[in-house]
Amino acid sequence: MTQKPSPRERWNAMAPWQRTGTVVLGVLEIVATTAAVVDLARRPAGLVRGPKALWWPALVVQPFGPLAYLLLGRRED
C-alpha cells in the first residue's frame, strides 16, 4: 500500500506559477469575502436584494457566495 504525499510534498511538487496562482487566488478570495461581510453588515436591509438572513450563509460558499453578493445582492443608494 502506498502512502499519500503530505501537503508539504504536494505543495513542493507544484510548479512555481501554480503556487503563485494559488496564493494570489487565495488572497483575492479573502479580500472578496471580507468586503462582502463588511458591506452586508453595514448596508441597510432595504438596499439588499432579498433577505439579509439568506445572504449570510451564502457568503460561506466560496468563492461564489461573496462574488454573487457583491455583483447581484446590493442595490444602489
Residue 52: inside a domain, yes or no?
Answer: yes
Domain that holds residue 51: 27-77
**Residue 49: pLDDT over 90:** yes
Q: Taking residues 41-61, what's their average pLDDT?
A: 95
Residue 7: inside a domain, yes or no?
Answer: no
DSSP the chain: -PPPPPHHHHHHHS-HHHHHHHHHHHHHHHHHHHHHHHHHHHS-GGGBSS-HHHHHHHTTSTTHHHHHIIIIIB---
Residue 4: inside a domain, yes or no?
Answer: no
pTM of the model as a whole? 0.84
pLDDT at 76: 82
Instruction: Band the pLDDT of 11: cuts 50, 70, 90.
Output: very high
Number of domains in the chain: 1
Residue 39: inside a domain, yes or no?
Answer: yes
Percentage of residues in the chain with pLDDT exceeding 70?
100
